[in-house]
């Protein structure tokens, strides 16, 4: 059991709560003061380097090159676009939960470091937005290949428009499909980088990896998402590193339902009581007010570490 402050805004990945604007050609790059964007990008880079999120010169070069602010929705403050620890939501679902975003720079950087990309490699990105695919294109260079796949046609349309407008269109192939089956027509890949929270690893992701290839995937386990890097060794995967972060949930065949109960805390803020898979989340009666108490059916043992309430 854990408490989290907003559903869909994954724990550990703070988000800018910006409603998506319809995806149209008007969402293409604007021309904010180039100097402001550059100054903010430099400040973000200082932070990512100081915090050890970027450790290799080629990743640093990619982040200094890609104009991140061109991939966020119109109206997003430059400061939000270049916040090292903030994702920018690009689309919300019916309940208001984030279902697509430009991931936070720190976790984009960690995942690219984890993937150990080199020039000439072929990479599959699961979950499109444009920005991360542009970073991947910088990493693999003109002789490499980047395929990005998304289940949502609005997302793939938007990514295609923005990649074209920023000059990466010819270097990234944007594909519309449920990534559960991978992208067999472009396999094998030297790396598969998954940018939505998964509960499991579909066989296709391993099968479409070249031997010694890297799979980097956010996996939800016991209520926490860890981005785990695996190296393929013949018919199995060997983990090589892990980072804690949060992501929007996987949709399609790999989606899972996590029981959650909406509550209001004593200060009137909405909190969600989330149950790990297999938990006993019985719905709370409607209309609960601050100060009300309800049994949640969960008994916490006092000899366990207190890591559940964030
Ligand atoms: C965090 S966003 C991607 C961010 C992007 N990589 C970037 O540039 O920062 C996650 C994306 O995963 C997509 N997604 C979720 N489930 C998927 C699935 N089964 N197959 C393909 N894409 C999926 C969502 O539509 C969403 O656009």
Question: What does the pLDDT look like over 24-53, one tens digit per residue?
Answer: 333 434 454 678 999 999 999 999 999 999
What is the CATH number assigned to the segment(s) 11-253?
3.40.50.150
pLDDT at 238 over 60: yes
The pLDDT assigned to 251 comes to 97
152 lines ligand 1 (CB under 6 A): yes
Q: Would the pLDDT of 13 be above 80?
A: no
Q: Taking the domains of the chain in order of start, what are their residue ranges?
A: 11-253, 257-310
Tokens 């090292």 belong to 84
Determine the residue of 151, 156, 220, 225 to mutate for testing ligand 1's pocket, defined as the one with the most ligand atoms within 8 A of the Cβ atom: 151
Distances from the Cα of 286 to the Cα of 261, 264, 271, 283, 289, angstroms: 10, 11, 14, 9, 9
Whether 103 is catalytic is: yes
Q: Which residue has the tokens 């983990």?
A: 239
Question: Is the C-beta atom of 178 inside 6 A of ligand 1?
Answer: yes
pLDDT at 22 over 60: no
| HSE value, Cβ hemisphere, 13 Å, CA-based, for 244 | 6
> Which atom of ligand 1 lies at the shortest distance from residue 148's CA?
6
Place of tokens 């939505």: 196
């Amino acid at each position: 059991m854990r408490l989290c402050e907003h559903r869909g805004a994954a724990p550990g990945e703070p988000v800018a709560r910006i409603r998506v604007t319809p995806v149209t050609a008007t969402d293409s790059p604007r021309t904010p003061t180039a100097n402001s964007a550059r100054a903010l990008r430099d400040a973000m880079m200082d932070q990512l380097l100081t915090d050890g999120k970027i450790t290799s010169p080629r990743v640093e070069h990619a982040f200094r090159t890609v104009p991140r602010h061109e991939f966020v929705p119109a109206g997003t403050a430059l400061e939000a676009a270049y916040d090292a620890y903030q994702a920018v939501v690009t689309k919300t679902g019916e309940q208001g939960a984030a279902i697509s975003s430009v991931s936070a720079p720190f976790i984009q950087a960690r995942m690219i470091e984890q993937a150990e990309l080199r020039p000439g490699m072929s990479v599959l990105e699961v979950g499109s937005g444009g920005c991360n695919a542009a970073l991947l294109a910088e990493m693999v260079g003109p002789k490499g290949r980047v395929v990005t796949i998304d289940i949502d046609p609005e997302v793939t349309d938007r990514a295609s428009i923005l990649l074209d407008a920023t000059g990466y269109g010819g270097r990234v192939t944007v594909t519309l499909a449920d990534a559960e089956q991978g992208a067999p027509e472009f396999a094998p890949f030297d790396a598969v980088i998954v940018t939505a929270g998964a509960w499991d690893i579909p066989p296709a992701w391993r099968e479409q990896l070249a031997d010694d290839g890297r799979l980097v995937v956010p996996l939800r386990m016991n209520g926490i998402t860890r981005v785990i890097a695996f190296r393929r060794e013949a018919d199995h995967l060997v983990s090589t590193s892990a980072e804690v972060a949060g992501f929007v949930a996987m949709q399609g065949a790999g989606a899972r339902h996590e029981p959650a109960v909406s509550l209001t805390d004593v200060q009137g803020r909405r909190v969600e009581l989330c149950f790990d898979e297999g938990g006993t989340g019985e719905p709370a009666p409607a209309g609960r007010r601050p100060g009300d108490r309800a049994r949640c059916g969960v008994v916490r043992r006092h000899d366990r570490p207190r890591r559940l309430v964030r």
